[in-house]
Amino acid sequence: MIRFEIKNGNDWLKFDMPTCELADHLGSIGICKDIPIGGTENISVDYYPTEVDDEIAEIVCDRLSPEDKISDVNRLCDKLDGQWQITDEEFESALSENDVRGALNINAAYEKLREDLTQTNDLSM
pLDDT in tens, 101-116: 999 999 999 999 988 8
DSSP 8-state class, residue 41: S
Identify whether the C-beta of residue 26 lies closer than 8 Å to the C-beta of residue 43. Answer: no
Please tell me which residue, 18 or 98, carries the higher pLDDT value: 18
pLDDT in tens, 6-27: 999 999 999 999 999 999 999 9
DSSP 8-state class, residue 31: -
Q: What is the DSSP string of 57-106?
A: HHHHHHH--TT-BHHHHHHHHHHHTT--SS-HHHHHHHHHHTT--SHHHH
pTM comes to 0.89
Sign of the C-alpha dihedral, residues 88, 14, 20, 43?
A: negative
Q: Which of 41, 19, 43 is nearest to 31 (CA)?
A: 43
The domains of the chain are located at 2-124
Sign of the C-alpha dihedral, residues 107, 110, 112, 118?
A: negative
